[in-house]
Structure formats: structure tokens, C-alpha cells
Homo-oligomer: A and B are copies of this chain.
Amino acid sequence: MKDIAAAAGVSRGTVNRVLNGGYVSPEARTAIEAAIAEVGYVPNTAARNLKRRRSEAVGFLALEPHAVLLEDPNIGAIMLGANAVLSLAGYQMVSLVIDSDRDTERVARYLSGGFVDGAIIVSARAYDPITRLIAQIAMPAVFIGHPPDLDNAIPFVGIDNVGSAREITSRLIATGRHRIGMIACALNRDSGGDRLDGYRQALGDRFDPALVAEVPHYDYLGGVNGMRELLEREPGIDGVFAASDAVAAGAMQVLREAGRDVPGDVGVVGFDDSAWAARTQPPLSTVHQPAREIGRHAAELVHRQIGGQTDVPRSVLLPSPVVWRNSA
């Protein structure tokens, strides 16, 4: 900057004014702009951050084991939604992969080092060190999904998993199914537990633990294994609520191999309304998860916190309607 001040024959203060707005005479301005173009000058952000005490960047943290991260059909859409909003607000979204303890530590340093002004956190587990750090340094942040900790200092954006699960299970009942099972996943995460709760609520007295197969992940393989288990335990099963579309796809594959017609013999419903849902044969009835919107709202919430607003909602619950197709 010194260089271009010299080149334009003005002081650094004036250069700064054309950069960041202020009173500058036309002659000075053109001279400076010419010099900037000449040298290809770009302000040093480290210096700027040091002075301004902010980075104009927001971190997007996915605290997932990586296999899960890659399978998740929603996370990409959430990122894009968040990026759209942040981008418009002039913020750089930087997403950080946390894939080991070493990562955790480094990310912690990164966050407290002033590289970002805020954070969007996807599927934090309870007592995660990163989560605690963020709360401790009072960094503007938002969770996607339920907050994992009891203290609700950090707002969250999500959907009503319980309600939607209850609703889609109810409609399975309404279509005359009698032995309705569930393939439940990821019970250590809020979404997993909530969907199981919804299923249970819908069934009420007719709930039968023998009809619930538990599998670790929301993936195709989980659907395959879960369905096999269910079929073995209850050959007369005529309805299945799979905790995600990928799981439902795996389940349908097993049903096909077992010679059961969907939806004739067995009704199947999923969750997410992801690309899977359109690809299954027949297309899947499922719960629409507004991933893009979730990302948008999350970004807005951090942005408002960064801006110092105090009237930020503690939580935002987005509608997640059932999409009725042909699998049930």
C-alpha cells in the first residue's frame, strides 16, 4: 500500500479512502486506481483482520465420521443454501472437515485464532470439544439439528423429526397396514431417536419392539440388513418406515429379492426426499427435508448474531411435509 501511495503521489490515508470509501478528489482517485491496477495490488487481509478484529468469514463444521458425511444426501444442499446467504452478505464460507482428534485440535485453534467470525455446526455430538469451545469463547454460532447440550446458548435450525415421523407412520396405518416395522438408524443422534419416537407415538398401543430393527448408519447397506432382520422376525410384515431414503432403497431391494411386491405386499416409506426417492422403483413416499432452506436459515442466524443483533430466535423449525408417491 505504501508503494501505491508513493506511485500515486498521495498518502496512505488517501489510498485507504478510495479502498474503503471516504472523501477523495477525482484526480487523486483516478491516479490511485491506476496505480492499483498497475501493480495488481490486493489488500493484505491478515493486517486488515488484525485491525478490524474480524475476518468476514464463517466456518461450516461437519462433526461427522467421514463415511457418514459422504453418504449424507442433505449436507451438500445445506452447504449450498448457507453459502448463498453468506455470499450475498459478503462473507466467505469455509468448510472444515473434522476427521480425527488431530483435526479437532487444529480446528479449535483455527476457530479461536480469529479466522472466522462465526460458525455453522452440523450434527454436533453432546460434549463435543468444539461445541464447548464455541460456547466458551462466545462465538456467534448455530446448530443444524437439535442442540446437543443442555444449555441453549446457541440457537438451532431444524425440522420436527418426531412430528413428521409420526405423520408418515400414521398414513401407513391409514392405508390399512397392520404389521408396520421400522428400520431405525443412528440412535445416538437426535434425528435418529426422534424419528423412532414419532413412529412409536403413531403406533401407540400397537407398538411392538420386535418390529424395530436398529442399524448404525443412514445408508443403503443399513436398509439391506435391517430389512432382512425384519423379514426374519416377522414374515407377515406389510409396512416399513425406513429412517432415510437410502435405507428405504436398501429395504426395497431386499423385498424385491424376497418376492414381495411394493406397495402391493409391503408399503415402504422413507425420510429426506433425496435423490434416492425418485430413483427407487416405485418412487418413494417420504418426508421432504428442506435442506437448502435449513442452510439458508442457519446462515442468516449466524449473520445476525455477528451483526450484534440480540433478537435472534433461539430456534427455527422448518416445515417438512410428507410427499406421497407410490411406494405406500
Contacts and interface: CB of A to CB of B under 8 A. Distances in A.
A221 B48 CA distance: 47
Contact of A87 (B77, B88, B100, B113): B100
Interface stretch (A104-112, A118-126, A156-164): A104-112
B45 A115 contact: yes
B92 A95 contact: no
A96 to B, nearest CB: 6
A258 interface: no
B92 A107 contact: yes
Interface in A80-106: 80, 83-84, 87-88, 90, 92-97, 99-100, 102-103, 106
A220 interface: yes
Nearest to A250: B279
A278 to B, nearest CB: 9
Contacts of A96: 92-95
Contacts of A79: 97
Interface string A47-58: 111100001010
Instruction: List the number of copies, as a whole number.
Output: 2
Given A46-B55, A50-B50, 10 more contacts: A40-B137, A42-B112, A42-B113, A44-B50, A46-B49, A46-B50, A66-B76, A71-B275, A92-B106, A253-B281
B66 A70 contact: no
Contact of A45 (B92, B93, B110, B281): B110
Given A87-B102, A103-B87, A220-B275, A40 B136 contact: yes
Contacts of A50: 44, 46-47, 50
